[in-house]
A and B are shown apart, each in its own frame.
Chain A
Amino acid sequence: MAHTKVLLVDDEKEFASALAERLQLRNYDVKSASNALEALGIVHSFLPDVVLLDLKIPGMDGIETLKAIKKFDSTIEVIMLTGHGDVRSVEDGMKSGAFEYIMKPVDIGELTLKINRASQKKQTS
């Protein structure tokens, strides 16, 4: 069975690198990007099942990035990562088609559960 492809978008490289490694240890196929432009490039080439997207990334607003991903392929599921209680951004993200959100620091069990649910939704869409 093919591994779930996850794109992790976060400008904190150490955070992204450690989380990517933890997900790889759990058999996810993970790529990372540190800004919106790089993320959109990887979306086109890697065709992820799920994108973990930090709402505050340099270069383009997280919500705009989310919209661009959904415009490219509406079946890619996006889980928003937020480092603060920015309820409004989360609401905007959900309205723009995000599957779920998760607060930083993340609980790895909760995150993998959400990734698996998002991946299942993608398979059935």
Chain B
Amino acid sequence: MDSQYENELRTLQMRFIGKIIAVFTHEIKNYIAIINESTGLIGDMMKLGKSPENELPVYLDIIHSIEDYIEKTTGHFRYLNRFAHRMDAPLSSFHINESLEELIALINRFANQKRISFKQGYDNDMPPVYGNPSLLQLIIFTFVEKNIMELEQDSTIIMQTAVADKSVLITIIPNGKRVEGSSAPIPTELLDIIIKELGGNISQDRGKNTVIMLPLTSSTA
């Protein structure tokens, strides 16, 4: 990869990581806000003399909600931690479905802001692949973001994985109408260079679906 593409890649990576952190912190602040209001409500009720014995179901509901959001917060931190560690080594053995699930969890709020949801159709028998999960997530994010920007509200993005002929396929299917005149440009040339370095390719299926192919290789290949 020449220095011009190296620079473009670094810029794209920084933008990607920045977006993930921005969405993540927004999500966590919301979770903390819910926990804050719930604990505050318990305090208010106690100050008003609402006895925990008489109002037990109400207190328990609030406590369960707090527990639920603590669990969600922990889960989200786990996703971010895993996402960060994917950059530890340029090449590693990883599970495609796991890396997709993590990426979708981390950008879900960004899509929800536009009332766009994700549907997952993963092949559960996917073998691990050997490659660069961080660069793969960058490529997938770039296409998913383009769809989020171009699709109308209440659309769906379907994420599929499959195994075919010693390769794995990741298909991104936009399901909904495009906003008229919308066009979110992506650095196609750079993405092609990245995917070729990973030994795969990117193609368009039926003019709108994006198919990312990666070879099934092991670390000893």
Contact = CB atoms under 8 A, between A and B. Distances in A.
A101 to B, nearest CB: 14
B113 A58 contact: yes
Contacts of B38: 14, 18
A18 B26 contact: no
Given A14-B69, A104-B33, A22 B22 contact: no
Interface residues of A, number: 18
A84 B34 contact: no
Nearest to A58: B115
Interface residues of B, number: 25
Interface in B112-167: 112-115, 153
A18 B34 contact: yes
A18 B113 CA distance: 22
Interface stretch (B40-48, B171-179, B183-191, B197-205): B40-48
A15 B29 contact: no
B32 interface: yes
Interface in B30-56: 30, 32-38, 40-41, 44-45, 48
Given A83-B33, A106-B33, A106-B36, A56 B44 contact: no
B113 A84 contact: no
